Chains A and B, each alone.
Chain A
């Protein structure tokens, strides 16, 4: 029968330990069927199941039902009445695990030198022992797309889950996408209130010419890479071109950072020329070319909503509204947030989008199912549906709002993961010093 009935309060943090994070070991494989009952289940595809039951075993979801029955047998039942269940949030485009302290050079592994670096692969530098991922899991972020930066072509990202011994078992999808930055005109520094003149350090014509040169260089690179891909045995190996192969056979996605409407159109048309349907990253002005994006079926990874408007004259709340404007117009939108440690605020980016115009469940999709789609992992992740990975968490309240987000349990591929982290450990260490009760 139902032998193990946990009440969440007990499980919360009863592993009192005040030592290093080394104790936070990756969880063991799921061995018993788990059923979570009585929860509000946010499926991730826009639907909500009240009083839902989710059952999973061997890391896979067996069923998601309303008022569902708990299967018989050796099942762990978790009563989650009044609580919320979410698919694990996915952080796209992050240098998580490639960087530990952004001002300490020795800890930086996210940006290689050189302009065309398609052969660079983030996965092998992803540090599962970084202290950061554990601080994300406890807010519901369970997967991430580890992405290199720098140059025009930065290299390949990989999608990982955030509870692993090493990068090999972290990988959900290796080399999922190639990342590229569309050559754009850099912005001049603006007014500082000292009343500087209107003079530019470089003329607009010089900047435009530089951009056009960069684009034609990029075009040349793609053309040769495509040609190279058609040679069965190249006389001379070119590792850069070789790394581009899967862009042309469709096995790898192309992400292009572009913000202005012209740059976005140029970038999409450029990719089209090579039979590639790109994902646009950034897309500040995507809302101005919605029809174009829809016609071309282009998804947009919007930059973090918690940003300042680009222009002095812009609606002060434009960054908050942007994702909602695009999504409501029918574009597949993914929400991102800059940085690595900052990823723990990803849920609140979705919350902001919900506050500023998008249905809350759709906002949730923008950090779950939509993300899984553009990362090419939606067959197994992104929503709570039968057959997918049991990567999910239970929050006592609305996980998109900081005053209610409270992750009590989380599972990655069915594994019951440890929600402790360095910060909780230090909180305990010093709360105990002062004789205060600890959090959670």
Chain B
């Protein structure tokens, strides 16, 4: 009992600004009138209206009036703010203030993924099957005041924030709260500000989803489930009920990276939602694409620190992208403003709340206007979270949420004196001390007396006496607290750190603790001696710092402007047509409007640019039937035996350098496949290697859809995983297919009868497409027994197998494949890497080809894909396949099996101008791709590549120099560490969310 009483006593020791309506009071009530008049102030009512010499009247938690020449009524406490400013306090639309840290599942960020064989929710009650869908989470139910964090936020000028439970894919509702430390009942401004989403499953213990495309699929299915839920009476589901009820709220979607902005916006478009997107600050890299989504953004100001680049060996760990981002990210907000994108700012993601203003100033130096900054910190976030009636501007009837500042809020010398929240005063720094600028006698134990010169936000120290060398000091003022650090180099050498506080105002005296380089502790004090007449550092040098140019993609081998289609005549080459004309000597290829105009001898150039290809070989571009490049957030959604609902189309990654590398190997079309972790994988995506374009622009366009199936060791999880997911034998694999197709047929029949009341099942939709010959199977396969099985299953269930991919024992069942018209896409010579390839032979391609199967060699490997031409050459080494036919293994044949041989795969008038110029016979080890065209656009040119590398080197040198300069000026830096590029193959397993969580974990411990 005693303990409880004590707690209450503490709570109520604060004055009560506004009545606690329902709570009884232990003792006499202490309800105060709360009447304040702020006079003679410059009042910034909103970004467009300023009242000079104005008066602000506050009663309780409400603004009574804001005007010039108001007579202060009796009973008001008058506060004279002559020379000072009043701003509406800031609003942060994206915080986790007042919420417990979500418990993340253990580890799992490594290669193996975090599979724990938990297939459905562990949450008891009538909730959604998957824990990542948790719309029932309402911040209003779990929010508690956090006085420490509230204080940090208030010091930065915030008066209210939106509180979001950052956990899960559908995260439930957020709430807007004021940053007062009154009881929760009084600070909640709006109980449901928005419904919240992300691609991160967060603390969910379920295996599903493991990938970004799985997160997208789950969210998409949830929208359909919500629609279905309203039309049915069979099931009561709190999650879906709440999900539906939240659809009329603003919708906030947290993403990382501009590509995920596009991905989120695409889902929004599908379901008629316009999300407000919390981004990560890299939007400037593709501002047009971001703008085209029409999304409003919530943007962080956590710019990265410069890197230590003095050591060239270490500096090489940095990529061009990292270095350019360091330079250009501070201009992100200016770019957003210029593009006319509506955005709010958030302090979320800052390592240290004190960095908030430093970074705002940096953004302003880099071109963000003060007006936009104010809008983005007040009115816009207020609108976004629906509290415009209460906050965001200083108007009658709104909450008395405002800050008192020494000058223009955005000046770097500005000091926030007070932050009033709901009519309650919080002192940030003593108001009478405008600035600490001046010359002081600084006395430090064990050093003696020094001259300390404070000038606005900078300071220098100087020995008194003969040696008058000035040393720059790091000076930080935070309210009444100051910290100063410097290194005199001698007497003593090493860093000296002082921290202390303002102890006297007239004269100004600072006092505190000191620590010398060797750890010796002591005391220090600084007493004002005389005014500092040096002019303060000018704020208004309004030249925006110059930066390098934007390049597309943003990183190595990106270019400022996209290469264009040209009309080109390739003259006098050995032309491998892949058509009945065969290999033509001394022939020409004419390219126009992205198409092949003509192939033949002695073509007339007309207006075409002529490329002399004498001695060269010209072919159509390579088509890789089995690739995993250019995919974001994992290639396997392997938590369930079927993931037919996931789509590589959702996660194409246009920034993958492997696109460029493969162009350098003559590849022009890649079939991006789901991995092989489960019998029914995901839907694949065909792309062209249009380097520099956006993910949507990479898509081949107009082609048939495919889906990945898989057999063998991977799907039965022989070499990874817990072995708890069905199936674990080839016997179970058969039944997985039978069950899947049986259910799909029943689903189709039910749809036909009952129509839209049937729950839309994205997984079965994909299977129905297969049954309807609208989607085609490429099946990862190794040994003959399972291949035979799938052929039988297909016959009995009434579907077709388009392609067996890998198909290393295709040579054992080639006759059966031929009889069923199934294509074979294999490796040239891989074997022995697991037991099921014990009898994989390099003659496989030859035998399948000779039987009459359309045969291809694929890569499944970002490295091998760069030299698929040589892999085709191995069909000669192993089996003596005629060269012309071997070449088709990597061009026309894969085009045929992907149903795009009407557009690519050979050199024929009317086809896409995907053309490669080789230095030699393309099947030879000595052949280099010298030029690669996609749609008549020259994306790879071995000579231009050499120039590009030189440009890139000098750009990196310039940036390194700039980083060194910024470090010399005192900016914080970080070390550059090597990062391994991420390369996927069929068997790559990872957990998208687990990795994100690991990173958050590190952050939490910093």
Contacts and interface: CB of A to CB of B under 8 A. Distances in A.
B660 A261 contact: no
Contact of A103 (B815, B833, B925, B928): B833
B280 A195 contact: yes
B880 A402 contact: no
Contact of A260 (B313, B556, B841, B977): B313
B811 A430 contact: yes
B847 A427 contact: yes
A190 B815 contact: no
Contact of B656 (A193, A201, A345, A401): A193
B416 to A, nearest CB: 29
Interface in A188-217: 188-201, 203-205, 207
A254 to B, nearest CB: 24
B268 interface: no
Nearest to B302: A197
Contacts of A100: 832
Nearest to B834: A103
A426 interface: yes
B290 interface: no
Contact of B322 (A198, A308, A402): A198
Interface string B853-876: 000000000111011001001101
Nearest to A265: B313
A204 B307 CA distance: 12
A91 B144 CA distance: 67
Contact of A262 (B304, B313, B632, B651): B313
Contacts of B976: 204
Contacts of B921: 403
B489 interface: no
A101 B835 contact: yes
B835 A354 contact: no
A312 B923 contact: no
B863 A307 contact: yes
Given A101-B838, A187-B980, A426-B843, A197 B280 contact: yes
Given A101-B833, A434-B815, A439-B878, A193 B319 contact: no
A402 B719 contact: no
B256 A187 contact: no
Given A193-B655, A439-B879, A188 B980 contact: yes
A410 to B, nearest CB: 15
B23 interface: no
Interface stretch (A119-127, A267-275, A313-321): A313-321
B234 interface: no
Contacts of B925: 348, 351-352, 354-355, 400-403
B316 A311 contact: yes
Given A402-B873, A402-B876, A403-B877, A355 B928 contact: yes
B258 interface: yes
Contact of B999 (A139, A199, A434): A199
A200 B655 contact: no
By DSSP majority rule, is chain A's interface helix, strand, loop, or mixed? Answer: loop
Contacts of B834: 101-104
Given A194-B212, A312-B657, A439-B843, A187 B811 contact: no
Given A402-B925, A426-B843, A434 B977 contact: no
B850 interface: yes
A292 B978 CA distance: 24
Nearest to A360: B926
A351 B927 CA distance: 10
Contacts of A197: 256, 280, 999
Q: Name which of B864, B866, B877 has the most chain A CB atoms within 10 A of its CB.
A: B877
Interface residues of A, number: 69
A379 to B, nearest CB: 31
A313 B952 contact: yes
A188 B841 contact: no
Contacts of A411: none
Contacts of A7: none
Contact of B982 (A191, A313, A344): A191
A255 interface: no
A340 interface: yes
B843 A201 contact: no
A202 to B, nearest CB: 8
Most-contacted residue by chain B among A185, A199, A312, A351 (CB, 10 A) = A312
Contact of A403 (B651, B660, B923): B923
Given A317-B664, A403-B877, A205 B975 contact: yes
B633 A436 contact: no
Nearest to B719: A103
B684 interface: no
Interface string B805-841: 0000001101100000000000001111111011101
A194 B815 contact: no
Contact of B259 (A193, A311, A344, A406): A193
A311 B320 CA distance: 10
B983 to A, nearest CB: 7
Given A313-B556, A341-B831, A196 B256 contact: yes
B996 interface: yes
A423 interface: yes
A198 B829 CA distance: 39
A238 interface: no
A306 interface: yes
B260 interface: yes
B175 to A, nearest CB: 26
Contacts of B980: 187-190
Contacts of A207: 977
A140 to B, nearest CB: 11
Contacts of B633: 192-194
A132 B832 contact: yes
A316 B259 CA distance: 24
B940 to A, nearest CB: 9
B219 interface: no
B256 A308 contact: no
Nearest to B981: A190
A431 interface: yes
Interface string A298-335: 00000000111101111111000000000000000000
A344 B998 CA distance: 41
A365 interface: no
A195 B199 CA distance: 12
Given A192-B633, A402-B874, A436-B850, A351 B829 contact: no
Interface in B626-656: 630-634, 651, 653, 655-656
Nearest to B304: A198
A257 interface: no
Nearest to B111: A189
Contacts of B1002: 199-201
A306 B921 CA distance: 19
Interface string A170-195: 00000000000000010111111111
Interface in A84-121: 100-104
Given A201-B1002, A262-B313, A192 B632 contact: yes
A336 to B, nearest CB: 16
A187 B978 contact: yes
A405 interface: yes
Contacts of B630: 193
A204 B847 contact: no
Contacts of B250: none
A426 B864 CA distance: 25
12 contacts: A102-B834, A190-B980, A193-B259, A194-B199, A194-B992, A195-B258, A203-B975, A313-B556, A316-B660, A355-B925, A434-B815, A439-B843
Interface of A: 100-104, 131-132, 139, 185, 187-201, 203-205, 207, 260-262, 306-309, 311-317, 340-341, 344-345, 348, 351-352, 354-356, 400-403, 405-406, 422-424, 426-427, 430-431, 434, 436, 439-440
Lowest 4 CB-CB distances: which A-B pairs, in order?
A195-B257, A193-B653, A193-B632, A351-B925
Given A101-B832, A403-B924, 8 more contacts: A201-B109, A312-B321, A313-B952, A316-B557, A354-B926, A434-B815, A434-B850, A436-B851
